[in-house]
């Protein structure tokens, strides 16, 4: 057997724990176990029919060859329309890159810019892949710790306190994964004010959950509120969450010329173009009707209420009400003595037929994340199993 020869860069990261837990749940199901997976953030709704039709039409039309590396002009135009119409960001196809999921856009943005010793401020709890990507790129993760009592949002002054000479990026994710935190307009304006004093700092604004906002307020994003900062903001979006298209793997990003071009340079040696059929489907998603999102939003909101009420009724568990996305970040400190740590608790819940992701995967502790992007009946059953497992 050959000796493993792992690169030094790879030793800095671990496998994605959301993906690992979801794969584990699938494996157990294939073995015939009755497992409800609340581990992955993936809408259970069917992909809209017009999107499926567009994918089939692309296949029939023979769109099965390479496309330009950074995406077809049709999809880049459609993505630019999405950034303008849905996020209020003034951009055009020239400043858009299409990649294999938002994850790849973020990966390329970091890898294309971060050098050893550069610092990236990441609000924590964070989405699993942010710190891993930054570390892989050679950067240093600077956690900006947020708390449940503040609905997991940081104040502009908290950011100011962490910015130093090596700060290169700030990650923003609103609505956020894993907490559902939504930054309102005034907080983002305050963040913008801090950034004006630090011209070196760029912002990666991950807006993938923009349509899933239960505050009743329109989505707010930094590049719209502070257009004077737009030349140092990279906004990432996609169709995975909004159009239930996770398997298509299409993400889009917009930002300054130099950055989009640097990301494209990297992509040309990495995946090359994202899948041609997926691009045709994503263009149809951005170009087509968006009205159904309101209905999905209402259903997610009802599921959120169901989950929050049920979780807060289980002894030793608590969660604030998430304002967006489809996750609850649950605190369970009083159970740690019995289970050792949050991984122990997650394994115990898995033994009781529910897959969740331990809080430590997200830079938190003593708790777990669940996704409520699952049908109400299944959610009710999962919540009963959690209650029973902790009875
Ligand atoms: N973003 C989703 C989640 O957090 C998908 C899985 C992943 O890539 O992490 O569950």
- Please report, for the chain, the start and end positions of each structural domain, with discontinuous segments joined by +: 8-46+292-389, 65-287
Q: How many A from CA of 128 to the centre of ligand 1?
A: 8
Place of tokens 């069917």: 46
Burial of 29 (0-12, 13-18, 19+ CB in 10 A): middle
Q: Cα(91)–Cα(354) distance, rounded to whole angstroms?
A: 43
- C-alpha distances in Å from residue 389, one per residue of 266, 346, 386: 47, 11, 5
Ligand 1 within 6 A of CB of 16: yes
Residue 1 has pLDDT above 80, yes or no: no
String of DSSP letters for 116-133:
TT-EEEEEES--THHHHH
Pocket test for ligand 1, best of 14, 44, 101, 127 (most atoms within 8 A of CB): 127
What does residue 212 show for φ and ψ, rounded to 5 degrees? -100, 80
Judge whether residue 230 has pLDDT over 90: yes
Query: Closest Cα to residue 42, out of 248, 335, 291?
Result: 248
Q: By percentage, how much of the chain surpasses pLDDT 90?
A: 98
How does residue 104 score in pLDDT terms, banded at 50, 70 and 90?
Answer: very high
Predicted pLDDT at 358:
97
pLDDT in tens, 26-37: 999 999 999 999
Report the 10 Å Cβ neighbour count for 199.
Answer: 9
373 close to ligand 1 (CB < 6 Angstrom) = no
pLDDT for the residue 253: 98
Name the residue of 14, 19, 327 whose CB sits within 8 Å of the most ligand 1 atoms, as the mutation to test its pocket: 19
Ligand 1 atom at shortest distance from the alpha carbon of 208: 1
Give the residue-averaged pLDDT of 287-315.
96
Smallest CA-to-CA distance from 112 within 275, 273, 267, 231 is with 267
Distance 371 CA to ligand 1 centre (A): 10
Q: What is the pLDDT of residues 140-163, one digit of tens each?
A: 999 999 999 999 999 999 999 999
Q: Is domain 65-287 in CATH 3.40.50.1100, yes or no?
A: no
Q: Is 19 in the pocket of ligand 1 (CB under 6 A)?
A: yes
For ligand 1, the distance from its centroid to the CA atom of residue 62, given in whole angstroms, is 32
In this prediction, residue 310 carries a pLDDT of 98
The confidence band for 180, taking pLDDT boundaries of 50, 70 and 90, is: very high
Q: 113 CB under 6 A from ligand 1?
A: no
Check pocket membership of 177 for ligand 1, CB cut-off 6 A: yes
What integer is the mean pLDDT of 121-140? 98
18 lines ligand 1 (CB under 6 A): yes
What pLDDT does 365 receive?
92
Q: Ligand 1: which of 18, 246, 346, 359 to mutate, judged by most atoms within 8 Å of the beta carbon?
A: 18
Mean pLDDT lowest among 36-40, 122-126, 127-131, 249-253: 36-40
The domain made up of 8-46+292-389 has a fold known as: 3.90.1150
Atom of ligand 1 nearest to the CA of 177: 4
Burial readout 251-283 (b: 16 or more C-beta within 10 A, e: otherwise): bbbbbeeebbebbbebbeeebebbbbbbbbbbb
Q: How many CB atoms lie within 10 A of CB 149?
A: 7
C-alpha 308 to ligand 1 mean position (Å): 21
How many Å lie between the centroid of ligand 1 and the Cα of residue 319? 20
Residue 363: band (very low, low, confident or very high) from pLDDT cuts 50, 70, 90:
very high
Q: What average pLDDT does the structure give for the chain? A: 97
**How far away, in angstroms, is 237 Cα from ligand 1 center?**
14
């Amino acid at each position: 057997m050959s000796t493993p020869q792992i690169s030094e860069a790879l030793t800095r990261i671990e496998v994605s724990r959301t993906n690992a837990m979801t794969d584990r749940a699938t494996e157990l199901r294939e073995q015939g176990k009755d497992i409800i997976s609340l581990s992955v953030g993936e809408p259970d709704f069917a992909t809209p029919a017009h999107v499926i039709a567009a994918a089939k039409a692309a296949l029939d039309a023979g769109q099965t060859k390479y496309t330009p590396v950074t995406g077809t002009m049709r999809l880049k135009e459609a993505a630019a329309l999405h950034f303008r119409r849905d996020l209020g960001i003034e951009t055009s196809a020239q400043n858009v890159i299409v990649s294999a999921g938002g994850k790849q856009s973020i990966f390329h943005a970091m890898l294309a810019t971060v050098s050893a010793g550069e610092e990236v401020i990441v609000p924590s709890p964070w989405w699993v892949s942010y710190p891993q990507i930054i570390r892989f790129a050679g950067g240093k993760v600077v956690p900006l710790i947020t708390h449940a009592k503040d609905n997991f949002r940081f104040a502009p002054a908290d950011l100011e306190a962490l910015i130093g000479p090596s700060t290169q990026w700030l990650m923003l994710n609103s609505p956020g994964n894993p907490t559902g935190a939504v930054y309102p307009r005034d907080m983002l304006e305050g963040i913008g004010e801090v950034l004006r004093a630090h011209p070196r700092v760029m912002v990666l604004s991950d807006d993938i959950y923009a349509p899933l906002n239960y505050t009743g307020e329109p989505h707010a994003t930094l590049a719209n509120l502070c257009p004077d900062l737009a030349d140092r903001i990279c906004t990432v979006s996609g169709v995975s969450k909004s159009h239930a298209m996770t398997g298509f793997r299409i993400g889009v990003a917009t930002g300054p010329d130099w950055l989009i071009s640097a990301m494209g340079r990297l992509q040309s040696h990495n995946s090359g173009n994202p899948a041609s059929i997926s691009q045709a489907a994503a263009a149809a998603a951005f170009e087509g009707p968006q009205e159904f999102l309101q209905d999905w939003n209402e259903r997610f909101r009802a599921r959120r209420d169901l989950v929050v009420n049920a979780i807060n009724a289980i002894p030793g568990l608590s969660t604030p009400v998430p304002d967006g996305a489809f996750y609850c970040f649950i605190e369970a400190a009083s159970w740690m003595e019995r289970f050792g740590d949050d991984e122990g608790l997650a394994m115990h819940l898995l033994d009781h037929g529910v897959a969740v992701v331990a809080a430590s995967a997200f830079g938190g502790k003593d708790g777990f994340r669940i996704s409520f992007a699952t049908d109400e009946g299944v959610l009710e059953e999962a919540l009963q199993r959690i209650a029973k497992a902790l009875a």
